[in-house]
């Protein structure tokens, strides 16, 4: 999950002490790793590394970062470890130990948001979309997704937001609070029926919309449609109307 472009500075620490965990005792990090924690690094797990190094999967401001402890336990190096052919030896470890758990938590948060289902409940693939009722590009993406949705392959979950126009929040809440939200959204996106706007907005749906806005902000998303899907256990994000090749990646298969 990408929530910031900030990068933890490459750091070389000359600190003494090396503490390894004893059986039955909570793990204590070696002194250089503990010092990095005090600087704001969140250390998740230790992993094996070559050349006498010990790797640590960590994150800062939500961004995964690798730390390598030297064999003597006196120094820590923050950054990417490459082999002689230029292959990144940190990426796979960070994916497994940091990014996948983070992305799983984010996926659960998406599921807990206020969304409208579009497609079969037993579809093999779920795709979340931050959708504004006044967004023409959301409507375009809705149209382009029809082959997969109508074939029962994909369920779109439209996380409703109201950010584009003054009446966007009212429209979004009116859709969420409709007797049949899925039918109301379908009619709106298809252009066959205007949204039946509520005169009085239920507080529970106002709160739900505000929660959706906060979730979108935490994910660093600023445009609609913002499309979130999973590939190999990792969360992927696309903003705007995707091109055909990207559309197939989002949907998980060629166009039916």
User: Which residues constitute the domain of residue 165?
Assistant: 113-251
Cα gap 53→155, rounded to integer Å: 45
Cα gap 175→173, rounded to integer Å: 5
**Same domain as 200, residue 173:** yes
Looking at residue 168, its pLDDT comes to: 98
pLDDT band at 27 (very low <50, low <70, confident <90, very high): low
Rounded-to-10 torsion of CA 129, 250, 142, 154: -90
Cα gap 69→58, rounded to integer Å: 13
Last residue of a domain, one of 72, 102, 132: 102
Last residue of a domain, one of 67, 102, 137: 102
pLDDT band at 62 (very low <50, low <70, confident <90, very high): confident
Q: Are strands 154-160 and 125-131 parallel, antiparallel or unpaired?
A: parallel
For 87-103, what is the mean pLDDT? Answer: 96
**Same domain as 181, residue 159:** yes
Last residue of a domain, one of 65, 82, 102: 102
- Strand ranges in 6-91 using DSSP code E only, listed in sequence order: 12-14, 42-48, 54-60, 63-69, 75-78
**Same domain as 125, residue 242:** yes
The CATH number covering residue 94 comes to 3.10.450.70
**Per-residue pLDDT tens digits for 135-193:** 999 999 999 999 999 999 999 999 999 999 999 999 999 999 999 999 999 999 999 99
Residue 131: beta bridge partners? 160
Q: Are the CB atoms for 69 and 37 separated by under 8 Å?
A: no
Lowest-confidence pick of 2-6, 20-24, 133-137: 2-6
Average pLDDT, the chain: 90
**Same domain as 244, residue 153:** yes
Residue reference for tokens 């859709």: 175
Residue 46's alpha-carbon distances to 29, 78, 111, 220, in angstroms, are: 9, 14, 30, 29
3-class DSSP state of 93:
helix
Q: Is the peptide bond before 7 cis (omega within 30 degrees of 0)?
A: no
In the predicted structure, residue 6 carries a pLDDT above the cut 50: no
For 30-48, what is the mean pLDDT? Answer: 95
In the predicted structure, residue 248 carries a pLDDT above the cut 80: yes
Whether residue 183 lies inside any domain: the answer is: yes
Q: Name the domain count of the chain.
A: 2
**Same domain as 65, residue 181:** no
Q: Please, what is the angle between helix 181-190 and helix 136-144, to 10°?
A: 100
The CATH number covering residue 157 comes to 3.40.30.10
**Same domain as 170, residue 241:** yes
**Same domain as 232, residue 154:** yes
């Amino acid at each position: 999950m990408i929530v910031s472009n900030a990068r933890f500075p490459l750091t070389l620490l000359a600190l003494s002490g090396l503490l390894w965990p004893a059986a039955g005792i909570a793990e204590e990090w070696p002194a250089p790793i503990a010092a990095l924690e005090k600087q704001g690094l969140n250390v998740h797990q230790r992993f094996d590394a070559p050349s006498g190094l010990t790797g640590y999967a960590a994150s800062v401001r939500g961004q995964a970062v690798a730390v390598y402890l030297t064999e003597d336990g006196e120094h820590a190096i923050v950054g990417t470890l490459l082999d002689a052919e230029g292959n990144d030896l940190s990426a796979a470890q960070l994916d497994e130990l940091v990014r996948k758990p983070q992305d799983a938590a984010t996926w659960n948060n998406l599921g807990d948001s206020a969304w409208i289902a579009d497609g079969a409940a037993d579809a093999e693939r779920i795709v979340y979309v931050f959708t504004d009722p006044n967004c023409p590009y959301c409507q375009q993406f809705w149209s382009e997704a029809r082959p997969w949705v109508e074939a029962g392959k994909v369920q779109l979950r439209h996380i409703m937001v109201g950010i584009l126009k003054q009446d966007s929040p009212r429209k979004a809440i009116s859709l969420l609070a409709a007797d049949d939200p899925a039918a109301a959204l379908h009619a709106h996106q298809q252009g066959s029926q205007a949204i039946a706007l509520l005169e009085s907005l239920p507080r529970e749906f106002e709160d739900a919309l505000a929660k959706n806005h906060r979730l979108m902000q935490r994910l660093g998303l600023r445009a609609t449609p913002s499309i979130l899907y999973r590939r190999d256990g990792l969360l992927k994000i696309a903003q705007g109307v995707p091109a055909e090749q990207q559309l197939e990646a989002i949907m998980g298969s060629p166009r039916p």
